[in-house]
Structure 1
Amino acid sequence: MKTIDWTKDELVAYILLFAANADFKESKKERDLIISKVDLKTFKEIHEEFENDNDYQGIKKIMTSLEQHNYNSEDIDLLMEDIKSLFFVDDDFDITERNMLKCLNRLFKTV
């Protein structure tokens, strides 16, 4: 895939949006948590891009950007903590979110 011109904040916003939509619903608490990690302008821009991508495109963009930003295992661990926080923010850590967490963890370990 070609390069992705995202900042680290844009990458984090996209990953958290991807995770927040694991259960096909994006709660206000999840949006608020994402906005607490990145600014509102970044959130809105990345949200629009996210809405236009399918899952395959999203995963490709995420993996390409993780590599471009030279994420290491420590960075991935911090990212996974943010994802866990996102899943628990609305007090509903359902099976689709659990599966997404496992899949992202496995996928990110390949970076």
Structure 2
Amino acid sequence: MEKPNTWSKDELLAYILLFIAHSDLDESKKEKEYILSRVDKSVYQRVHEKFEEDNDYQSIQNIVEGVKSHDYYRNDLADLFADIKLMAFADGEMDQMEKLAYNTLKKILK
């Protein structure tokens, strides 16, 4: 996968959702199903491979670069954070690590 500034909106969304899903170190079946409800399986697989190569710092840097270099969310991140919240609740509850990841993204993307 190329640099975040070349990612499609679906690739960026999949990467962000994977970041949230893995914030508690476990991507549940329901979380995977939610991501697949938002992006194609081929996008998911391609992005998942890239995500697995990156550490947490690289992931955050990729997310920031992807969001800032594209006009996908047009200075209104409400849709993105709605998706993130739905992702966090996909397995029934937003645990502490998911809440921390959500709040961290809110701070750095604003």
TM-score (norm 1): 0.90
The residue that corresponds to 2:39 in the other structure is 38
User: Gapped runs of 5+ residues in structure 2?
Assistant: none
User: Residue 41 of structure 1: CA displacement?
Assistant: 0.1
How many residues get paired?
107
The residue that corresponds to 2:79 in the other structure is 78
Superposed, 1:88-107 pairs within 5 Å as 88-107=89-108
Against the structure 1 CA distance between its residues 31 and 57, is the aligned structure 2 distance closer, same or farther, given a 3 Å change threshold? same
Matched residue type, 1:26: E
Matched residue type, 1:69: H
TM-score (norm 2): 0.90
- Structure 2 counterpart SS, 1:92: coil
User: Residue 33 of structure 1: CA displacement?
Assistant: 0.5
Q: Percent identity?
A: 43
Q: Which moved further from structure 2: 56-65 or 43-52?
A: 56-65
The CA distance in 2 between the partners of 1:57 and 1:82, in whole Å, is 21
Task: Check if 1:8 corresponds to 2:47.
Answer: no
Aligned partners of 2:5 and 2:70 also within 8 Å: no
Give the ranges of 4+ consecutive aligned residues of structure 1 lying more than 6 Å apart after TM superposition.
Answer: none
Q: Which moved further from structure 2: 62-71 or 10-19?
A: 62-71
Aligned partners of 2:4 and 2:12 also within 8 Å: no
- Structure 1 counterpart SS, 2:43: helix
Q: Residue by residue, what CA displacement relative to the aligned partner does 1:36-83 show, whole Å, maximum 9, x if unpaired?
A: 111000000000000000111111111111111123332x11110001
RMSD: 1.3
The CA distance in 2 between the partners of 1:59 and 1:29, in whole Å, is 23
The CA distance in 2 between the partners of 1:47 and 1:92, in whole Å, is 23
The residue that corresponds to 1:69 in the other structure is 70
User: Gapped runs of 5+ residues in structure 1?
Assistant: none
The CA distance in 2 between the partners of 1:3 and 1:37, in whole Å, is 19
